Amino acid sequence: MLPAVIVCLLPAGIFAQTAITVTAYRKAHTIHIRWTSSCEQSCKEYEIEGSAGDHTWEKIGTVNSSVADGHSDTVLSYAFSVADTAAPLAGIAFLFLLLLIPNASGKKTRWLLALFLATGYAACSRKIMDTLDVHERIRYIRLVQYDTEGHITSANVVKVSEQ
């Protein structure tokens, strides 16, 4: 991946060339984003956005500057990952375990727990499919750098590669 040359405005009004190198790849339903910045001037945070390539960007995360005051003349490295969630599966497993409770031996209680399990399974299956669909459709990552006043100071777009 070729580094993008980004311009930083220094407090004295002098422009400094800042090389920001961004890589993004997908591995096992997780998108990994890594980037380095050769310097930061008044940097507050980086916002990570994803797109399917249709010029519609969706925020998928934020990473704060690694220096407290947002100023650095040394190379800084960052990393961010977006993984599929396993929380819906944990919910289904919990509902299944409720069926095994010895005190839940009554017919009405078991029917009620089975109804909750079926409802939970249906809702969680839909949520899992939505989550997988969102991450599978992300083909481009845009890294947006914000300064301490909330202004965009740079933006960089890369294609997500497969590994």
Residues 71 and 147 in one domain: yes
Residues 91 and 33 in one domain: no
Other Cβ atoms within 10 Å of 52 Cβ, number: 14
Residues 113 and 35 in one domain: no
Q: Which helix (H) or strand (E) holds 152?
A: strand 152-159
Residues 49 and 126 in one domain: no
Does position 161 have pLDDT exceeding 80, yes or no?
yes
Encoded tokens for 135: 């991450």
**Domain range for 110:** 87-131
pLDDT at 61: 92
Q: What is the pLDDT of residues 6-57, one digit of tens each?
A: 444 444 333 344 678 999 998 877 899 999 998 888 889 999 998 888 788 9
Residues 59 and 8 in one domain: yes
User: pTM to 2 decimals?
Assistant: 0.61
Residues 61 and 44 in one domain: yes
| Structural domain count, the chain | 2
Q: What is the pLDDT of residues 64-121, one digit of tens each?
A: 999 988 888 899 999 999 874 444 555 556 656 666 665 555 667 667 767 766 776 6
Residues 12 and 59 in one domain: yes
Q: What is the CATH number of the domain that holds 35?
A: 2.60.40.10
Q: What are phi and psi of 133, to 5 degrees?
A: -65, -40
